[in-house]
Amino acid sequence: MRKRNGRVLAPMSGVAQPLEAVGDEVFARGVLGAGVAIRPSSGRVVSPVDGVVSSVAATKHAYGFTAEDGTQVLVHIGLETVGLDGEGFRALVAQGQRVKAGDAVAEVDLALLEARGLDAVTPVIVLEGAAEACATGRVTAGRDVLLRVPGSAVAPAPEQPRRRGGFDFLQRLGKTLMTVIAVMPAAGLALSVGKLLQMPGIALLTGVGVMLEQIGWAVIGNLHLLFAAAIGGNWARERAGGAFAAVVSFVLINAITGAIFGVSSDMLATEGATVRSLLGQELAVGDYFTQVLGRPALNMGVFVGMVAGFLGAAAYNRFYNFRRLPQALAFFGGKRFVPLVVMAYSLIASVVLAVVWPLVQAGVNAFGVWIATSQEVSPVLAPFLYGTLERLLLPFGLHHMLTIPMNYTAFGGEYVIRTGAAAGTVVYGQDPLWLAWVTDLMALRQAGDAPGAAQLMAQVVPGQFKVGQMIGSLGLLPGVALGMYRRIPRERRAACRSMFLSAALAVLLTGVTEPVEFMFMFAAWPLYIVYALLQGCAFALAGVVDLRLHAFGGIELLSRIPMSLSAGLAGDLINFLLACGAFAAIGFGVAYFMVGRFRFATPGQPGSDVHSESQAGGEAQGNARAERIIALLGGRENIVVVDACMTRLRVTVKDASLVGDAQGWRGVGAVGLIVRGTGVQAVFGPEADGVRADVDDALRAGAAD
């Protein structure tokens, strides 16, 4: 904890006057907090503090700021200006944007306010705290100190935003990606059910199972596009415009990277096809490229979606209101200018990626070669490094450069089949090798050749680079999920239970780990790093005890248990179950401690976009408060119009005598009540717009009934 003694600068130039002189009871009585008012002489509005823009009213007449020391400041431009619905106001910043004191944040047409008969006096309020006025008379925006906040305890969370800038960025990114993550459990569940339906071999069930499986893979296989739209929509001033710009950038980057290298669809289908990088490096087309939206592109996984999302949002935020074109080209101004900028940004990004990405991927490939040749000399270290790096590469979509070669190529080992009609055939990769090895063991044991089976077990050790992932999906990750869930406040758990349960079930049954990993990969990146190290330890365990198993998820493991037992791997199965139990306990303990200690914004936690503060108590509690507010307003029949500004619920009623008293309104969270004629203003502070939405929803639901 530290003390704050912050300064709040004048956000507008003009004449400072006591707040008590303002012709609005809410401000004059200090209901929202202490402050000073400015009668502006200029329409330029600047930030009064160094910090973050915490809120921007939809009507652009009020702005909230959170200073670096945690001070909350409200700048309300004019009185009753909410009725202009944004006319005469121009916002120059967006919510969440970092600003310095004196940075321009808005412009207001003071002449328009005067013409409409509105008072332009601007209250500057320190919310939920004391403040001392430091100026009277004329003040200059961004230069003169208007208020001073006396020393008081500041909560640790906003204490040092500069030092935690990267952390805050990833926290926000994690919350943004919750838009995509919310559909991941459903996709994983579709995969699980699809696999189960295909197991009996009944034609009708198999057809339905295949369809469900394709639904799941359709989501998981297009995460890069979904990430682009989610980031673009959440980072831009306008969701639809930002998402559209991000999708355009996604399409362009993928198309341009393929065109830069001259890769064609025929080359993707031709084994051994190669191209030259911009630095002269020879690239195997099958290793470095894939098909995206029907066109060849660099295989960058979800990373390309992140790049496109930020590019689209940046282009939109900077140029959505661009008006500097010649008159003849005026049609392309404003939002129509954004696609042109996106094209330019995407071209530059594509060239940079065309140079950088092959180098990154080559490094990953080199690591894979070392792993493949070090199995004998590094039975513990090699699996540990492999498992750790494979998980650390997942956020960038590069993990497949390790898993695919390990599972299906000579990197994962080669094996000569010893029994049956296929004797003498060579198979490559962890999965085919394990199946061939187990089949040989079964044949040798059935033939009574116990010495031959024992010798085969001693000579070949398959599963070394797979069983760790199985321990992760059947033990470690479910433990992490349970730890995150148990840290959710009790009143929110019911709302999050189905999400966590379906995600964990998908991981357990199919081995597809993303539904749980994306819950904390960005929102709690330190936890993800620890998880990656633990995953590496799970892989390394195969070099310590017998864990010669191989499967993709619980369903496949169950189907392979009879084979494993017939091959003499009962001890391995017991070791595996014990390892899963141990890592589940470790995962639970680590997640429970880290989420609680560092207050990560994982799903259900305060600060998470999933069941966040605006939804505290769940939908049922929000509806209950809305119904109480409707009753305080005299019932549905007495309500004419419901609206809100930055801090107040504004309602027009038919009969004001039916409106409840101030004590009743305090019971629903209002800190002040003003009734003038048929106009009712209930002061809720920054949550006023959320209260309006709840009341609107309740009114619509009542009308439907």
pLDDT tens per residue, range 632-650: 999 988 998 888 766 678 8
Helix (H) or strand (E) holding 681: strand 679-683
Q: Which of 127, 152, 177 is the last residue of a domain?
A: 152
3-state secondary structure of 60: coil
Tell me: do 498 and 389 sit in the same domain: yes
Can you give the pLDDT at residue 670? Answer: 79
Q: Which residues belong to the active site?
A: 76
Tell me: do 58 and 10 sit in the same domain: yes
Query: Which residues lie below 8 Å from residue 24, measured CB to CB, with a gap of 6+?
Result: 79, 123
Residue 140 lies in a domain: yes
Number of H helices, E strands in the chain: 25, 26
Tell me: do 565 and 698 sit in the same domain: no
3-state secondary structure of 53: strand
Residue 190 lies in a domain: no
Q: Which of 569, 598, 627 is the last residue of a domain?
A: 598
CA distance 356 to 39: 55
Tell me: do 448 and 566 sit in the same domain: yes
Tell me: do 293 and 366 sit in the same domain: yes
Tell me: do 412 and 537 sit in the same domain: yes
Residues in the chain where the model's pLDDT stays below 50: 1-4, 152-168, 171, 609-620
- Is there a contact between 267 and 257 (Cβ–Cβ < 8 Å)? no
Can you give the pLDDT at residue 527? Answer: 95
Can you give the pLDDT at residue 122? Answer: 94
Backbone φ/ψ region at 30: left (φ over 0), alpha (ψ -120 to 50), beta: left
Return phi, psi of residue 73, to 5°: -125, 135
Can you give the pLDDT at residue 449? Answer: 92
Tell me: do 520 and 472 sit in the same domain: yes
Q: Quickly tell me which residue has 């960025």 as its tokens.
A: 169
Tell me: do 415 and 505 sit in the same domain: yes
DSSP state letters, 227-296:
HHHHHHHHHSSSHHHHHHHHHHHHHHHHHHHHHHTT--HHHHHSTT-EEE-TTS-EEEHHHHEEEETTEE
CATH number for the domain that contains residue 679: 3.30.1360.60
Residue 589 lies in a domain: yes
Can you give the pLDDT at residue 620? Answer: 47
DSSP state letters, 573-606:
HHHHHHHHHHHHHHHHHHHHHHHHHHT---TTST
Tell me: do 307 and 252 sit in the same domain: yes
Q: Which of 92, 125, 152 is the last residue of a domain?
A: 152
Residue 690 lies in a domain: yes
Tell me: do 148 and 104 sit in the same domain: yes
For the chain, the domain total comes to: 4
Backbone φ/ψ region at 334: left (φ over 0), alpha (ψ -120 to 50), beta: left
- Domain coverage including residue 675: 618-704
Can you give the pLDDT at residue 63? Answer: 92
CA distance 43 to 352: 42
- Is there a contact between 292 and 308 (Cβ–Cβ < 8 Å)? no
Q: Each residue of 523-578: pLDDT tens digit?
A: 788 999 999 999 999 999 988 999 999 887 888 788 788 888 988 999 999 999 99
- State both tokens at 330: 């005026």
Tell me: do 679 and 589 sit in the same domain: no
Tell me: do 591 and 665 sit in the same domain: no
Q: Each residue of 329-349: pLDDT tens digit?
A: 767 777 788 899 999 999 999
Nearest alpha-carbon partner for 299 in 282, 284, 280 = 284
